[in-house]
Amino acid sequence: MNEERKVKTSILNQTTFSAETGEIKLGDKDLVVLDGIALREIFKANRELLGSGADPIWYEAGKKVGQTFEKNIMELKKTVPPDKVASVMAEMRTRKGWGAISVVAINSIKKEAILHIKNGPLTRGIHSDKNVCYFMAGSFEGIFEKIFETEVICREIKCQAKGNPYCEFHVVKRD
């Protein structure tokens, strides 16, 4: 069985649907299926209505989502070396369709990390003259605050929507 089929089977085996309540669950998590086109249309509508004012909203929403992984991160930290927790979290997000996420560098002492995303859902088919992945940057901030156990900030340095081969994010400890 190839790797892609194993992932599909693994996710399907953990997914349940209740016709009575209309809920989908992935393990114990509430799941809503939203295709990438719909996600990009929501993003586009926000940008059209709010201009650059949408950026901090997407960033803060991403941060809140990243913070929801606290339970997973705390469990991982019990069994996985601290520098590997980020890679496990990246793989989990990749398997949920958020693009090919990789941790390029991490320094737990300095509280810094560099991440790449190829084919992220907010950049697929998008062309822009500015970075657009505020949601992902916020999400990484929320995740790394839990991993590093301190306040951090995340900035997108490169964006695929601008023609770069991948999006690059730098996470650093807040001053």
Q: Given this model, what pLDDT does residue 33 score? A: 78
pTM of the model as a whole: 0.85
pLDDT tens by residue, 84-129: 999 999 998 898 889 999 999 999 999 999 999 999 999 998 999 9
Q: What is the distance between the alpha carbons of residues 38 and 48, in angstroms, rounded to a whole number?
A: 15
Question: 9-13, 22-26, 67-71 — which is least confidently predicted?
Answer: 9-13
> pLDDT (tens digit, 9 = 90+) per residue, 53-69?
999 999 999 999 999 88
**Helices 82-95 and 134-148: angle between axes, nearest 10 degrees:** 150
pLDDT, tens digit, 9 for 90 and up, residues 67-85: 988 888 888 888 988 779 9
Beta bridge partners, 67, equal none
CATH topology of domain 55-173: Muramoyl-pentapeptide Carboxypeptidase; domain 2 (3.30.1380)
Domain boundaries, the chain: 55-173
Contacts of 20 (CB under 8 A, 6+ apart): none
User: b or e along 118-133 (b: 16 or more beta carbons within 10 Å of the residue's beta carbon)?
Assistant: ebbbbbeebeeeebbb
Residues 25, 15: Cα–Cα separation, whole Å: 5
